[in-house]
Amino acid sequence: MNSDNRTIQIVGINPADLFGTNNINLKHFNSFFPKLSVLSRGHEITIKGDQEVMDEFERKFNLLILHYTKFNSLSINNIDNLLLDDGEKLLNNKVEDEILVHGNQGLKVKARTVNQKKLVEAVDKHDMVFAVGPAGTGKTYTAVALAVRALKAKEVKRIVLTRPAVEAGENLGFLPGDLKEKLDPYLMPLYDALRDMIPPDKLANMLEHGIIEIAPLAFMRGRTLDKAFVILDEAQNTTTLQMKMFLTRMGMTAKFVITGDVSQVDLPNKQRSGLGYAIDILADIKDIGIIRLGKSDIIRHQLISKIIDAFDKAEASE
C-alpha cells in the first residue's frame, strides 16, 4: 500500500469548538481510523497513511464540519451517527431539516439521528408504528413531537398518551395521595416532553378539556380511540393480553405509536412482554412500521452508551 501525507484545512470554524474540550471529539473520531497518523495544528490537520483510508477520513471529517456548521454543536453521539453507513442522510435528507415542533423558548424539535428520521418517515407512512430501542434514543420524545405536530396541523382532534403502571422495583401502593397522584410519577416523562413543546397555560387548558389525555393503560379498556394520535410508552411492560387490548382500541382515523425497550422489562414473575410478542407476530404486516433504534441514536449524556455497554456485557457473562 502507498503511504502519503495530506493536509486538511479548517475554514470558518474555530477548531477548538469543533474538536471539543481537550480534543475529545477529534480523539474519538480518530479512533475509527487507527491505521492513520493524525496531527492537528491550528486550522490544519495532517494525516498520513493509505490513500483510500485518507479519502474516507476526509469524507467523514467533512461531514463533521458540515454538521457543526448547521447545528453549531458537535458531540460524541453526533460523530457516531455520522460514521454509520447511512450517516450522510442526516445531513442530506430533507427530514433532517424539518422542524417537527416549534417548542417553548425558541426550542426547535427535529429528528437528530438516522433512526429518529426513520421513525418520522414511518409515522408519515403508516398508521401504526413500533419504535423500540434503549434508553435515551429519543423514542418517546420524537413520538410526542409528532403527536403535537399532528394536533397543530388539525390532522387529529386529540392526543392520548398512555403507559402501563408497572412498578420498577418500587411499591405503588405505598405512594401517598389519590389515584392520580399515585400514577402521575409513572407518566412524568410524557408531561416533561409536552412541557417542552406547548406553553404552560395552553397545555393546562388542553389537559383540562381532554384535548390531551395522559392516562394509565388500564383506562384504555373498552374504548375506541378515533381521530387521535395515540402513544403507548414503556410498552415492554405490557402483558400480551394488555398489548392486544391496546392495539384493538384503534379507530378508523387514528395514529398509533408504540415505544419501548425490550431489554428493560419490569413485569413480575417473568411474564412475557407484550411488546416483544407483538413485534414478532406483526413483523410481516406491511402496513405496520417497526423502527429499531440503537446506541448510536442515544442523545443523552455520552456516558449512557457506555453504561448500556457495561450492563450488556455483564448480563451476557451471567
What single DSSP character describes residue 86?
A: T
Both 103 and 194 in one domain: the answer is yes
233 grid coordinates: 410508552
Both 115 and 194 in one domain: the answer is yes
Cα dihedral 105→110→116→121 (10° resolution): 130
Both 195 and 289 in one domain: the answer is yes
Model confidence at 23: pLDDT above 70: yes
Query: Does the residue 81 lie in any domain?
Result: no
pLDDT band at 170 (very low <50, low <70, confident <90, very high): very low
Both 65 and 105 in one domain: the answer is no
Both 25 and 116 in one domain: the answer is no
Both 115 and 227 in one domain: the answer is yes
Average pLDDT value over all residues in the chain: 84
Coil, helix or strand for 7? strand
Look at 87-91, 200-204, 311-315 and tell me which has the smallest mean pLDDT: 87-91
The arithmetic mean of pLDDT across residues 205-218, rounded, is 91
CATH of the domain at 35: 3.30.1370.10
More confident residue, 122 or 216: 122
* Model confidence pLDDT, tens digit, residues 96-116: 457 888 878 778 888 877 788
* Model confidence pLDDT, tens digit, residues 261-284: 998 888 877 789 999 999 999 999
Query: Does the residue 85 lie in any domain?
Result: no
Both 49 and 122 in one domain: the answer is no
Both 17 and 133 in one domain: the answer is no
* Model confidence pLDDT, tens digit, residues 127-143: 999 999 988 888 999 99
pLDDT band at 236 (very low <50, low <70, confident <90, very high): very high
Query: Does the residue 86 lie in any domain?
Result: no
* Model confidence pLDDT, tens digit, residues 294-305: 877 776 666 776
Both 70 and 116 in one domain: the answer is no
Domain stops at, among 74, 109, 136: 74
Task: Report how many domains make up the chain.
Answer: 2
Coil, helix or strand for 269? helix
Position of cell 417553548? 104
pLDDT band at 169 (very low <50, low <70, confident <90, very high): very low
Both 67 and 199 in one domain: the answer is no
Predicted local confidence at residue 198, as pLDDT: 93
Both 117 and 181 in one domain: the answer is yes
Coil, helix or strand for 165? coil
Q: Which helix (H) or strand (E) holds 161?
A: strand 158-163
Query: Does the residue 31 lie in any domain?
Result: yes
Coil, helix or strand for 256? strand
Domain stops at, among 43, 74, 105: 74
Query: Does the residue 215 lie in any domain?
Result: yes
**What does the angle CA 11 – CA 15 – CA 20 come to, to the nearest 5 degrees?**
145
Q: How many helices (H) and strands (E) does the chain have?
A: 13, 11
CATH of the domain at 182: 3.40.50.300
Proportion of the chain above pLDDT 70, given as a percent = 85
pLDDT band at 172 (very low <50, low <70, confident <90, very high): very low
pLDDT band at 94 (very low <50, low <70, confident <90, very high): very low
Domain stops at, among 74, 89, 110: 74
Query: Does the residue 91 lie in any domain?
Result: no
Predicted local confidence at residue 90, as pLDDT: 57
Question: Residue 11: which domain range?
Answer: 3-74
pLDDT band at 74 (very low <50, low <70, confident <90, very high): confident
Model confidence at 173: pLDDT above 70: no
Both 121 and 181 in one domain: the answer is yes
The arithmetic mean of pLDDT across residues 69-77, rounded, is 74
Query: Does the residue 65 lie in any domain?
Result: yes
Coil, helix or strand for 9? strand
Report the C-alpha gap between 318 and 309 in whole angstroms: 15
Query: Does the residue 69 lie in any domain?
Result: yes
